[in-house]
Amino acid sequence: MSFASRIVLEITGTAALGRREVNNIVKLCWHDVGLHWHQKFRPRHFSAAAWSLYRYKPRSRRYWFRKMKKTGQGLPLVFSGESRRLSQNAQITSTFKGVRIAMTVGKMTFRPQLVDELKQINEQEYRELEGVMGKSLERELNQSRHKVRVVIGGKAA
């Protein structure tokens, strides 16, 4: 006795995602994280609250008086305002492993301590960025409508 058998297996949702699709989704999520940091947290570094939020190193007395005399303000990372203005434009590049935010910061480039201060994030921001990553990942996975259909056919005796 012989009969023909055919098995149809359908896999849908996240189980149907291949490696490339997963990498692309994670890449999109990292881009969302970078965009969120740039839009929400970058401006904080140039505000008066940044001294306590990021625990910047105190500036020298000489620098402080020179800055107050010339500009009349005590905002961190701001002397002429050039770096703050230039950093508004960014090129966000994401990969499966993370995100890179490239900004022009003018003369701040020659002051590595200031660049390091601009890159700092505090614990609360870290948790918020984790949340952004989680929500973005959830949104992207819910939007994926992948379907794989496997047909196994043959004869059995």
Q: Three-state secondary structure along 22-37? A: HHHHHHHHHHHHHHHH
Whether the CA torsion 41, 45, 50, 51 is positive or negative: it is positive
Q: Look at residue 155 and tell me whether its pLDDT is greater than 70.
A: no
How do residues 51-82 score in pLDDT, each as one tens digit?
999 999 888 999 889 989 888 888 899 888 89
Average confidence score pLDDT of the chain: 85
Pair of tokens at residue 126: 């870290």
Judge contact between 104 and 38, C-beta under 8 A: no
The reported pTM is 0.80
Residue with tokens 């999520």: 29
Q: Look at residue 25 and tell me whether its pLDDT is greater than 50.
A: yes
**Which is it for strands 3-12 and 90-94: parallel, antiparallel or unpaired?**
unpaired
Pair of tokens at residue 131: 């949340």
User: Nearest to residue 14, comparing CAs of 140, 155, 131?
Assistant: 140
For residues 112-117, give the mean pLDDT.
Answer: 92
Q: Which of 5-14, 39-48, 79-88, 92-101 has the lowest mean pLDDT?
A: 5-14
Whether the CA torsion 30, 142, 39, 90 is positive or negative: it is positive
